[in-house]
Structure 1
Amino acid sequence: MRSFGGGTVRGTAATAAVLLAATMLASCGGRGEDGGTQASGECQGQQTTGITDKTLKLGGVYPLSGPASAYGDIPKGIQAYFEYVNKEKGGLDGRQVEFVVRDDGYQPPKAVEEVRRLVEQEQVFALFQTLGTPSTTATWDYANQRKVPQVFVATGASKWGADTKHPWTIGWQPNYISEARVYAKYLKTEKPNAKVAVLYQNDDFGEDLLGGFKKAIAGSQISIVAEQSYEVTDPSVDPQMRNLSGSDADVFLNITTPKFGSQALAADAKLTDWNPLHIVNNVAASITVLRPVGFQNVQNVVSSTYYKDPVDPQWANDAEMKLYKAKMKQYQPNADPNVPYHAFGWAVADSFAKTFTAAKCKTREGLRDSMRSLNNVQVGMLLPGVTMTTSKDDGFPIESMQMMQFKGERWQLLGQVIDTRKEFGPLTG
């Protein structure tokens, strides 16, 4: 066990036998062994595990180790936000927030193990972020059976918003189909006859974005001429890149997580006889992915975004960016504020704060209802024009993005924010 800011990070050393022996806790509200606070009035009888009048306990699951460990930067931004709120704002709606972080190594079985620990042993009020489509897929049945909010999961799979059988789980970032729509719109304008080669992760994440792209280019002159998949256990994607380079594609769609994103970018730079327009998906577009490849090797690569880039000078005097950088330095002094994953963490934590504060009942049911009734909510770290909106039947908080291109040592925004709801119509999965 090691300290993580104001919260706690614990490993996965406990055995499965411990889990099997764990006592299943009652899911009803009211004060009792769970230490919850008594709900009153119309909130009477709702779940109050993990929350009192003075405290709020949340749990998150991230790959702090393993092939997707770059995402381990996200909870540092979250922790900085909660420490700022706790120490300078009197807590979240008067409650001190404890954020317990677990490591699943990007392995779904471990994610199940860690989510069960958070719910049954830590008795968290809500699961705030489980990262990755495979890990979240492995845990959302459990969370919904236990009626524990699984709030703003860190994955853009479209099913978090389209599925109505799991009302306790919701995404946050633009879903992969919406992201694919943005790339399709960009190509229809910039390269309407594009021939596309695709590298994608062989799981729900990769298939969701690729499937969305195929639907979005249907009826256009854009075609996919080559596809290669990889497994998260593969040591390298170099063989796949060599195969793709043999196609006559003039666009390369890079659908990868950070480790493999770096590999694909590096391989593309070495393939001197192939020079496609390189589109890297948002989850692998962090500066921490590009830097190891060498900035000189990633010039003119394009991607999409929806939140402010800490190294973009246009935000130098932005009030939210200034606050974020100051509090990162104060509460996470060993973390670089310029890393976009830290800014992502700050943004999603602020989104949670606004959602929780708006809840009529400070109960699990109240949080569930609040996250499903967001109405054009503004979050300071999101790009201007990007807001959060949901309804009972629309679980996609953010569906707007803006294209960006890498120039020099940073991303530069291209064009305007694209609202995919308006451009392509509502997304139903």
Structure 2
Amino acid sequence: MSRYSWRARAWFGTVAALAGATLAAGAAFAEAKYGPGTSDKEIKVGQTIAHSGPASAYGRLGQAEAAYFKWLNEKKGGVNGRKINFISRDDAYQPSKAVENVRALVENDNVALIFGNLGTPINMAIRPYLNAKKVPLLFIAAGSSAFNDPKHFPYTMGWQPALNNEAAFYAKHLLKTTPNAKIGVLYQHDDFGKDLLNGLRQGLGDKADKLIVSAQSFQATDPTIDSQLVILKNAGVDTLFLFAYSKQAAQAISKLADLNWKPATFLHLGSASVGATLKPAGLQNSKGVMTAGFIKDPTDPKWADDETIKWYKAWGKENLPNADLTDTLYMAGVAYAMTLQHVLEKAGDDLTRENIMKQAANMKDYRNPFLLPEGRINTTPEDYAVITYMKLQRFNGESWDFID
């Protein structure tokens, strides 16, 4: 037995109790119901994600999820006695490839659901097909507000805070602390970047046109963003928003240092990874960067004695031996996987696609152990927002400090 096994078992039992993941005592289903991809032995879960290409850093989400489901199968017997058969395919962050992957997962691999896909353009491309087929598209790594639209797309649900809400959160802070800021925006020229920019404008209200002095876009495949940053600096920007994924965010922070330019810098929360963004950019260069926090950071001393983080570090050493565990993308992947586990446990022996989606849309005070202590997950059939609690934080060169 591994020296971590006893701790993992004890901790996981506590988490299950806190999450309400186990079925209520005495509850039983008269007859098991199975939909595509499910049986008394397994639940097939599909994924398309960028294991290569310009957003390949986010493939770590899929790696962590695969490792977690493997551990869950081996140590816990899966979910309600059924093994998770997790099939993750590479789309290289190309929507056309993602569509091809998803069709194969549904029509050839016969998966019960699609889970954890990265990116707004990817999920926009596959959403119509999956909703037409009534295949759950759950807990995607994309924060577009379009993914909280149960009226028109009842089979699609995000996970992280909505992009427009995140940007509006920054705008509220800015109006309170720096109402005369000269704002510059670097944003990815797709639905992801545009949603953040629109959320910022909405949050700033009638002051948006006056405060935003320059907004520069880039394509995900662009080799650098140097010229855009030079334009923003020359526009007199003193407050910069980086609405970008890890690769371009790291390039931007590094370029700011090269330009000896130090605007107040806000970073999209999905890119606020020490391992994937701030280390490549240079930790000292990253000092002072702000973002919306909603999840614990395993590198932060404030969580050193937290039981969840201690479990995660021990689990990671065993199950992701080659991973840099300071990269919060790995931890986020485990948090995503636990949320799906919670839903499947609630589904019990009714594993139809309809019931899986019903359980996802009816989470009540679910306490995912990786969220900040104040965070709870509550979804309803009318509101699919999963993560709603955020707190502003600033990088001190080693870890994040909350800003009151």
TM-score over 0.5 for the pair: yes
SS at the partner of 1:218? helix
- 2:24 alignment counterpart: none
Structure-1 residue corresponding to 2:308: 320
* 1:174-222 CA distance string (max 9 Å, x none): 0101111221122123212212000111110001011011001114587
Equivalent pair of 2:61/2:333 in contact (CA under 8 Å): yes
Cα shift readout 1:35-56 (whole Å, capped 9, x = no counterpart)? xxxxx86986xx6111111211
Q: Distance in 2 between matches of 1:411 and 1:79?
A: 28
Distance across 1 between alignment mates of 2:182 and 2:101: 43
Match of 1:233 among 221, 232, 237: 221
1:111 is aligned to 98
Query: Within the alignment, does 1:204 sit opposite 2:194 as a pair?
Result: no
Distance of 2:146 and 2:382 partners within structure 1: 12
Q: Which amino acid aligns with 1:70?
A: A
What is the alpha-carbon root mean square deviation over aligned residues?
1.7
Among 233, 248, 259, the alignment partner of 2:236 is 248
Question: Counterpart of 1:311?
Answer: 299
Q: Is the 8 A contact 2:150 2:156 kept in 1?
A: no
**What are the residue-to-residue correspondences of 1:96-135 with 2, within 5 Å?**
96-135=83-122
**Match status 1:193 vs 2:180:** yes
**Contact 1:356 1:367 (C-alpha < 8 Å) held by counterparts:** yes
Aligned to 1:17: none
Q: Tell me by how many angstroms 1:87 deviates.
A: 1.8
The 1-side partners of 2:85 and 2:32 are apart by 23
Does the CA contact (< 8 Å) of 2:150 and 2:383 recur in 1?
A: no
| Structure 1 counterpart of 2:395 | 406
| Structure 2 residue aligned with 1:384 | 373
Paired residues of 1:126 and 1:364 also in contact (CA < 8 A): yes
What is the deviation of 1:138?
0.5
Matched, 1:262 2:250: yes
Aligned residue among 251, 259, 283 for 1:271? 259
- Give me the whole-angstrom Cα distance separating, in 2, the residues matched to 1:391 and 1:163: 9
CA distance, structure 2, for counterparts of residue 87 and residue 41 of structure 1? 28
| Residue in 1 that maps onto 2:64 | 77
In structure 1, distance between residues paired with 2:339 and 2:252:
32
- Find 1:173's aligned residue among 157, 160, 170: 160
CA distance in structure 2 between the partners assigned to 1:315 and 1:275 by the alignment: 29
- What is aligned with 1:364? 353
Tell me how far 1:163 sits from its aligned partner: 5.0
C-alpha separation between the residues in 1 aligned to 2:279 and 2:394?
15
1:281 to 268, 280, 302: 268
Preserved contact between residue 62 and residue 116 of structure 2 (Cα < 8 Å):
no
Partner SS for 1:130: coil
Check whether the contact 1:68–1:105 (CA below 8 A) recurs between aligned residues: yes
Superposition TM-score, scaled by structure 2 size: 0.89
Q: In the aligned structure 2, how far is the partner of 1:394 from the partner of 1:346?
A: 24
Structure 2 Cα separation of the partners of residues 119 and 185 of structure 1 = 42
Which of 134, 139, 142 is the equivalent residue of 1:152?
139
Larger helix percent: 2
* Partner of residue 320, structure 2: 332
Stretches of structure 1 that go unaligned for 5 or more consecutive residues are 1-39, 416-429
CA distance in 2, matches of 1:200, 1:290: 18
**Structure 1 CA distance, aligned partners of 2:102 and 2:334?**
22
Q: Which amino acid aligns with 1:346?
A: V
CA distance in 1, matches of 2:288, 2:169: 17
State the TM-score, normalizing by the size of structure 1. 0.84
| Percent of residue pairs identical | 39
SS state at 1:380 partner = coil
| Cα distance between partner residues in 1 of 2:65 and 2:177 | 37
Q: Is 1:182 aligned to 2:196, yes or no? A: no
Moved more, 399-408 or 236-245: 399-408
Moved more, 319-328 or 355-364: 355-364
Partner AA of 1:403 in structure 2: L
1:132-157: CA deviation from partner (whole Å, max 9, x where unpaired): 11111110111111111111111001
Cα drift, residue 411 of structure 1 = 2.1
Relative distance call for 1:362 and 1:163 in structure 2 (3 A) is: closer
CA apart distance, 1:265: 0.9
Q: Is the 8 A contact 1:192 1:220 kept in 2?
A: no
Gaps of 5+ in 2: 1-28
How far 1:304 sits from its partner (Å)?
1.3
CA offsets 1:200-251 (integer angstroms, 9 cap, x no match) = 1111000101101100111458711111111112111111111111112210
Shift of 1:336: 2.2
Separation in structure 2 between the aligned mates of residue 296 and residue 94 of structure 1, nearest angstrom: 48
Query: Cα offset for 1:414?
Result: 2.3
Q: Is the 8 A contact 2:283 2:398 kept in 1?
A: yes
Residue 320 of structure 2 is aligned to residue 299 of structure 1: no
How far did residue 318 of structure 1 move? 1.4
Other structure's SS at 1:381 match: coil
1:352 pairs with 2:340:
yes
Indicate the residue corresponding to 2:15 in structure 1: none
Which of 41, 54, 61 aligns to 2:41? It is: 54
Q: 1-side partners of 2:78 and 2:223: how far apart?
A: 44
